[in-house]
Amino acid sequence: MFKGKKMAAFGGKTKYILWFRESGIKDIELVGGKNASLGEMFRNLRKKGIRVPNGFSVTAEAYRYFITQNSLDGEIKDILKGLDTGNMRNLAERGYRVREAILSAEFPIDLRNVIIESYAKLSKEYDSHKSFHISWDKKDHTNHFAGGVDVAVRSSATAEDLADASFAGQQESYLNVTGEYQLLESIKKCFSSLFTDRAISYRVDKGFDQLSIALSVGVQKMVRSDEASSGVMFTIDTESGFQDAIVINGSWGLGENIVKGKVNPDEFIVHKPTLQKGFKSIVGKKLGSKETKLVYSVGGSASTQNVAVSQEDQKRFCLTDDEALELARWGMLIEEHYKKPMDIEWAKDGRSNKLFIVQARPETVQSQKSKNVLEEYILRDKSKILCVGAAVGGKIGQGKANVIKNVAKIADFKKGEVLVTEMTDPDWEPIMKIASAIVTNSGGRTSHAAIVSRELGIPCIVGTGNATIAIKDTKPVTVCCAEGEEGKVYEGTLKYEIKTTNLKEIKKTKTKIMMNVGNPDQAFDLSFIPNDGVGLAREEFIITEYIKIHPMALIHFDRVKDKEEKKKINDLTQGYKNKEEFFVDKLAEGIGRICAAFFPKDVIVRMSDFKTNEYATLIGGKSFEPAEENPMIGWRGASRYYDPDYMEGFRLECLAFKKVRDVMGLTNMKAMIPFCRTVEEGEKVLAEMKKYGLERGKNGLQVYVMCEIPSNVILAKEFSKIFDGFSIGSNDLTQLTLGVDRDSAKVAHVYDERNDAVKELIRQVIQKAHKARRKVGICGQAPSDFLDFAKFLVVEKIDSISLNPDTVIKTTIEIGKIEK
């Protein structure tokens, strides 16, 4: 029950409080970007099933009223006269004086009262079984309110979160705020945070007048994610700008640790087009270390505290697959509503086990980039690798390393240096903008360092674990984010080049130009190169880099005798009760990510083609592989798949393929059988695949065969009866036509794909395949290396040429000329 005199919510004609249901995205001038977005979602998206905690905004007018009633506008203007944001001490001194002036001021009584009354209403809504009341103090005409629910108090600047000016956490947020005193103090602290050093500096850079920007403050019911998990979600891939992916980061506890880069979070990547069709299309999952979590404090002056996460929780994902998919669906609904890629904060309540959206703003980096210009950074030298982490952006930066372990030392940082530190927060922004690159020990791709470096367009490597120890202060380093998802810090200043291509100038050719892709981490980036799909997606990289374990060692773990190898297998498969599932899931995610990147174009995935000596290098491999004199023409490809010594391993490959097609919905995937010596061997392989639900022709599944043995050419008509197409492997075809071991340096001078005998076999298989109405392409190295060879293929009317990514544009232009 509420008692006491009811205060009007207006100062003159101005409203000081707007509930989320009363505001929307058009009200940024009134409530700022964050609060306008919360109001928009609360009003429009809850009916679509998205949960948004209720709350209210202390409006920008309330902030201006607070400033003018305390005569602070003139005082702030005087303090900022002669401001020099390039001088750290000048900036720090002026910022401190403005903040102190605001914190020393008092709330006007009518503003104070309406805030207290609104907080009481919110408390009543969420704690309806409690009896709350407001008491009226006749002496000073103020309302007082005992108790109250826990709320988040967040700043929301009126120029914040605009599409071209992300303020990336410039102002403060306060979590687990309870009671009248804490609430009013937190709101005042938010007001003062409009003048933190980094916010003042940022406004100078962006050309905003210091006094023209006002601040609204959001007061929102807390989600008890301190007892569960929280994180961020982007509806666009933050590294490549690939728009068909949702990227979710999460860790245990309240969300500030992820934003501030204090933890290495879990990551989920979901493919939007297939999710929309009802498939469970998680095409990427990475377990983060999540060593600490932010929780509510018990006693003490602080409302939150960081505590250690148990080993058990570090080793499990903070979301289930179903929860990640639910968040991804919400992300798509939010993106559809706003009609632009979005940056979203989510939280899971540990008491109700329900998910909530607590913030959404436009993504301001990748969505602003031109899609017509392809910029590639290419490292031309290599040197000693000092440390590795998650790459942010695809650029290369270099300079003298400046290792800073404390924010107090940032005044010593000079333009063009490489910033090396534990992690960054908004206090570091004045020096981040003058750095040539940034390297941090902790944090993930959605940490503060990652977000700001993307916005600034400088390379950044996060989550290295040891950068501040491995990189020596004042020594020159090269920070490379151009080699996939793993960023590397190299010793010294290395040569690199920047290649720019205007994609509008690349004309489509009659001959399909496809790509050879092996690394799933690069797939989203590569999808922007003009292409007709993937002519060769190799499993080998996924198995060696993602899985690392021999499939038979997972199936027959008891047969692995080496104790060290057993420990490695147990460490890699932690969280999996069934070790076989680890292989299936990781292979499916790797293949799925490549298929998602090029969806709905064809992606032809070649099943494993390791030789016995290569299989033996996998963890546990020595226990299952024979020693062969010449593995190149030994037990490889198709002959393994039906052999009792490997057929169980092939079963896992088939189950991964089935998961990609049936669970993820990526039916653009075609299977390809390598090194198939005879038609009978091909029939045996197809029979094995059918056992595990991969039946040629069912659900549109096509199965190709590699044409890399002369028998494939001679019996092309017969092979055409059981396979849907051919892909010429010119490397092996040359080896077996000329009788040259391609690993031997002694006879390397004889090895030449352009030899007339090799070309004659290629000519024949193209003709025979077309006669049998079968597609034929090439995925060998030759057309990537030799333009005259590519010309020969075009003249022979090959259906597709699959090239290494770095030669696609050059060869496409040349093929266009040939076709003319």
Q: Which residues are known to be catalytic?
A: 448, 779
Separation of CA 119 from chain center: 37
Q: Which two tokens stand for residue 696?
A: 């040629």
Distance CA 668, CA 439 (A): 38
Distance CA 489, CA 796 (A): 46
Distance CA 440, CA 211 (A): 34
The helix, strand and coil proportions of the chain, stated in percent and rounded to the nearest 5, come to: 40, 20, 35
CA angle 511, 516, 517 (to 5 degrees): 140
By C-alpha distance, which of 661, 664, 658, 772 is closest to 726? 772
Q: Which two tokens stand for residue 779?
A: 């995925």
Q: Which two tokens stand for residue 456?
A: 């600034």
H or E segment and range at residue 119? helix 109-126
Q: Which two tokens stand for residue 329?
A: 């669906």
Q: Are 419 and 459 in contact (CB under 8 A)?
A: no
Q: Are 672 and 608 in contact (CB under 8 A)?
A: no
Distance CA 73, CA 586 (A): 59
**C-beta atoms surrounding 15 within 10 Å:** 18
Q: 3-class SS at 431?
A: helix
Distance CA 176, CA 442 (A): 25
Name residue, tokens 């367009």. 457
Q: What are phi and psi of 552, to 5 degrees?
A: -70, -25
Distance CA 433, CA 405 (A): 18
CB-count exposure of residue 609 (10 Å: 0-12, 13-18, 19+): buried
Q: How many residues does the chain have?
A: 820
Q: Are 119 and 180 in contact (CB under 8 A)?
A: yes
273: preceding bond cis by omega (within 30 degrees) = no
Task: Give me the DSSP letters along 320-386.
Answer: -HHHHHHHHHHHHHHHHHHTS-EEEEEEE-TTT--EEEEEEEE--SGGGS-SSEEEEEEE-----EE
By C-alpha distance, which of 533, 702, 555 is closest to 620? 555
Distance CA 406, CA 153 (A): 27
Q: Are 445 and 424 in contact (CB under 8 A)?
A: no
H or E segment and range at residue 176? strand 173-177
The 8-class DSSP code of residue 697 comes to: T
679-691 and 647-658 helices cross at what angle (nearest 10)? 60
Which residue blocks in 386-462 are alpha helix, DSSP H? 429-432, 448-456
